[in-house]
Amino acid sequence: MSYGFDSGVKGLIILSAGGTGGHLFPAQALAEELVRRGYVIHLLTDERVEDHGNRFPAEQVHIVHSATLTPRKFLKLPGQVFRLLSGVREARSIMGHLHPLAVVGFGGYPSFPPLLAAMSRRIDTFIHEQNAVIGRANKVLAHGVTSIASSFPKIAGLPPRAEGKVVFVGNPVRDAVLSASFMTYTAPGANQPFRLLVFGGSQGARVFSEIVPAALKALPQSVRKLLSVTQQVRPEDMDEVQEAYRRSGIDVELAPFFYDMPERVSRAHLIIGRSGASTIAELAVIGRPAILVPLPHSLDNDQLLNARAFTTAGGGWLLEQSEFTPERLSSLVTKLRYSERELQMAAESAKQFGRPDAASRLADLVEEIAIDRIYGSDEDAEPANEEYEH
């Protein structure tokens, strides 16, 4: 199959991301926007994409070798380096066949080999940093890429020589999130149902299974009788959590993963969750108040910085995991349940924090370079083929 410029297809762009939702979701948002603009998308990632990539609008998904470098575990380091170099060779081969106009990376070590391969072929490269602090892989790549797109106005830990490359665009969200953002938030009255949504990232969170049911059981009966809970629960915790809610008499829906999460966020009156970059972006665009519990000991405290940015803007409340106890959570939920104005103001502040146009802004940035390559303005780069054969 081939794509020529006379066919209405502008060209081919490669996106590269780690295979978890936090990296794939913003990549998917950009892919959706670029496809609308007439580009063909290929995705380079790792085997974890099977859990999240079924809705990714890529013509083809390529699995390339990668590894997380752990210098302190020096016995494992040679094998990790070998896997990364194998991934670079694989990515170079793919790019030699496809001749992409540009390569965009979304972080995680699986994006490392494709970006290095693109740089070695002098293809224009972008990285998108989702967090308020630059990730380890992106930090290494920052010196060599053409441009750096950011989700936050400031990125902590950015190499000084790369600061001039940064363009603030926001964190792209999927079309499903944009659709959910049109649902208006209305805080519930004292005698109306109160919908609580609990999730802990793509893999769930054990601590939520331990703390949240106990906290909600301690709520006053007047709160519990009108409470409706939707909670993401890891399979190994399901029976225990189900039994805890049964004893509490609370209306609950449990599942290991919800594929319609944006719609569920839009229906919720309050969210309890982690503070990964994609979570923050989606809560903000939809405009929902949240109690955020950052993942402790995460690399560079990225989740803590994300949560601080969101809550400082007024979108919610920050509870570090050391403070996340049944007593503290029960008290906070009870207070918020009867604070219509506080919930409403938090929802409005979250909405103002959101960047619904982030995918469009990032696509503009990428397309500017892609158009340059179409017309051959980059004399040092490999010439863009006039058709792509698969």
Cα–Cα dist 293/310, whole Å: 12
Q: Give 207-249 pLDDT, tens digit per residue.
A: 999 999 999 999 999 999 999 999 999 999 999 999 999 999 9
Cα dihedral value 74, 79, 84, 88, nearest 10: 140
Instruction: Kindly report which listed range (132-146, 295-309, 371-385) carries the lowest average pLDDT score.
Output: 371-385
Percent of the chain whose predicted confidence (pLDDT) is above 90: 74
Query: Residue 21: its pLDDT value, please?
Result: 75
Homologous superfamily of 2-172+356-389:
Glycogen Phosphorylase B; (3.40.50.2000)
Which pLDDT band holds residue 3 (cuts at 50, 70, 90)? very low
Query: Residue 78: its pLDDT value, please?
Result: 78
Which pLDDT band holds residue 371 (cuts at 50, 70, 90)? confident
Which pLDDT band holds residue 177 (cuts at 50, 70, 90)? very high
- pLDDT higher than threshold 70 for residue 373: no
Which pLDDT band holds residue 82 (cuts at 50, 70, 90)? confident
- pLDDT higher than threshold 50 for residue 389: no
- pLDDT higher than threshold 80 for residue 120: yes
Q: Residue 183: is it exposed, middle or buried by C-beta count within 10 angstroms (0-12/13-18/19+)?
A: middle
Q: What share of the chain is helix, strand, coil (3-state, %, to 5)?
A: 50, 15, 35
Name the nearest CA neighbour of 22 among 108, 87, 105, 84: 108
Which pLDDT band holds residue 287 (cuts at 50, 70, 90)? very high
> Whole-model pTM?
0.86
Q: What tokens does 363 get? A: 């696509």
Cα–Cα dist 222/363, whole Å: 49
- pLDDT higher than threshold 50 for residue 138: yes
- pLDDT higher than threshold 80 for residue 135: yes
- In which residue ranges of the chain is CATH 3.40.50.2000 found? 2-172+356-389, 178-353
Query: Residue 337: its pLDDT value, please?
Result: 96
Cα–Cα dist 115/53, whole Å: 20
Cα 270 versus chain centre, distance: 20
Looking at 1.20.120.1200, 3.40.190.10, 3.30.70.1560, 3.40.50.2000, the CATH number of the domain 178-353 comes to 3.40.50.2000
Given a contact cutoff of 8 angstroms between Cβ atoms, the answer to whether 172 and 33 are in contact is: yes
Q: Give 21-78 pLDDT, tens digit per residue.
A: 788 999 999 999 999 999 999 999 988 776 555 679 999 999 998 877 666 777 777 7
All residues at 6 or more sequence positions from 163 whose CB lies less than 8 Å from its CB, including other chains:
none
The winner for highest mean pLDDT among 16-25, 46-55, 105-114 is 105-114
Which pLDDT band holds residue 336 (cuts at 50, 70, 90)? very high
